[in-house]
Amino acid sequence: MENKKLRDLAEVGEFGLIDILTQDFQLKNNNSILGVGDDAAEIRLNETESLLVSTDCLVEGIHFNLMYMPLKFLGYKAVSVNVSDICAMNGRAEQITVSLAVSSRFPIEALEELYEGIHMACEHFKVDLVGGDTTSSLSGLMITITVVGRADKNKITYRAGAKENDLIVVSGDLGASYLGLQVLEREKEVFKANPEIQPQLDGFDYLVGKQLKPEARVDIVSYLEKLGVIPTSMIDISDGLASELMHICKASDCSVSIYSEKLPLDDLTSTTALDFNLDPITCALNGGEDYELLFTVNQSDFDKVVSNPNLTIIGHVTSKDSGNFIIDKNGSAVSLKAQGWRHF
């Protein structure tokens, strides 16, 4: 390495790093259908079903701050964000394993609180805890969860598959989790300056709840199944709407156009954004950690999708050479750029 120009992780980012590290790996087993590059891997189980497998690691100081993240909520969130990856493949989560790296500063009672949240999530999402690992850490708490799910092989939805003129749909509302984080960070700084002052979180329950205890949208997967709608592509929104749209574009070899007026924003999200001197649309595009589902459907499914108040059509898929745009209320098209969470 002494004779090579070393590259900085920040230059390539998370997904560039993944591409570099995994480019020489080839799938060798016939039942390994999909490897690295989507929300979950696909392993063929039998002639009709596939297993879906995904792993996420949450690191103290990077993904959560224990000054305002209750351990019970952290346990719940760790499970929920993994279940969300299975939802993003149009599947159903069934089992998880949990691995912890923990320092001696945590008493047993603290870890019991963490596992109470994990248990609560397992009950809610109907998944089984089937194993894991525990080891020591010199730098705080790390939680790694692997989730295993199942799906009909003909209904699995990938990031690839979006076609020109498909409708772009998002569940729930956007930006709330990011604004919840801003509220928590503000109150953290106030507390650090004066520990006698109690946090002022009244009125921000919805935003703070979206940040601390997000819900994987298993209900949307069930709803689409009942309607007989199979999305042409799908991803969950963890790094921000714009970033996830770019993933679909890259995988599906397409472009997108979305409309700012169509983006679903809760009223509290909008007013809180303005209080922080932030643009609500920017928060919706780049905030991240919404864990809503972003997917595309054929135009023939319009009537089925539009009838659900939890789903919003925000734009459409265009040809690859059209470019990615967000169109404002005046009809002006602005280039869409991903400015969400960067891991390095």
> What is the DSSP secondary-structure string of 256-275?
EEEEGGGS---HHHHHHHHH
Q: What is the largest CA-CA distance in the chain?
A: 63
CATH number of 167-335: 3.90.650.10
Yes or no: say if 256 and 318 are a contact pair by the CB < 8 Å rule: yes
Q: Give the whole-angstrom CA distance, residue 92 versus residue 84.
A: 9
**Which residues are CB-neighbours of 210 under 8 A, at least 6 positions away?**
176, 177, 180, 289, 290
| Residue whose C-alpha is closest to residue 207's, from 236, 234, 187, 235 | 187
Yes or no: say if 235 and 88 are a contact pair by the CB < 8 Å rule: yes
Token pair of 118 as six digits: 């994990």
- Residue 343's pLDDT is 52
Q: Does the pTM exceed 0.85?
A: yes
| Residue whose C-alpha is closest to residue 246's, from 179, 313, 299, 294 | 294
13, with CB counted inside 10 A (0-12, 13-18, 19+), is: middle
DSSP letters for 191-259: HHH-TTSPP--TT-HHHHHHHHS----HHHHHHHHHHT---SEEEE-SS-HHHHHHHHHHHHT-EEEEE
Yes or no: say if 23 and 144 are a contact pair by the CB < 8 Å rule: no
The pLDDT profile of the chain, 344 residues, written as one tens digit per residue, is: 566 777 777 777 666 776 777 677 788 888 888 888 889 999 999 999 999 999 999 999 999 999 999 999 999 999 999 999 999 999 999 999 999 999 999 999 999 999 999 999 999 999 999 999 999 998 899 999 999 999 999 999 999 999 999 999 999 999 999 999 999 999 999 988 988 888 889 999 999 999 999 999 999 999 999 999 999 999 999 999 999 999 999 999 999 999 999 999 999 999 999 999 999 999 999 999 999 999 999 999 999 999 899 999 999 999 999 999 999 999 999 999 887 555 54
Q: CATH 3.30.1330.10 occupies which residues in the chain? A: 9-152
Q: Give the whole-angstrom CA distance, residue 212 versus residue 210.
A: 6
68-107 burial, b at 16+ Cβ within 10 Å, e below that, comes to: bbebbbbbbbbbbbbbbbbbbbbbbbbbbebbbbbeeebe
Q: SS3 for 60?
A: strand
Q: SS3 for 59?
A: strand
Strand ranges (DSSP E) for the chain? 32-34, 41-44, 49-59, 92-102, 128-136, 142-152, 167-171, 233-236, 255-259, 293-297, 311-318, 325-327, 333-335
Helix axes 176-193, 205-212, angle to 10 degrees: 100
Q: Give the whole-angstrom CA distance, residue 202 versus residue 183.
A: 11
**DSSP strand pairing (311-318 vs 255-259):** antiparallel
Q: SS3 for 92?
A: strand
Q: Give the whole-angstrom CA distance, residue 30 versus residue 92.
A: 23
**9-152 under CATH 3.30.1330.10, yes or no:** yes
Q: Give the whole-angstrom CA distance, residue 121 versus residue 73.
A: 9
Nearest-10 Cα torsion for 177, 183, 186, 190: -140
Q: Give the whole-angstrom CA distance, residue 184 versus residue 67.
A: 9
| Residue whose C-alpha is closest to residue 291's, from 206, 174, 181 | 174
Q: CATH 3.90.650.10 occupies which residues in the chain? A: 167-335
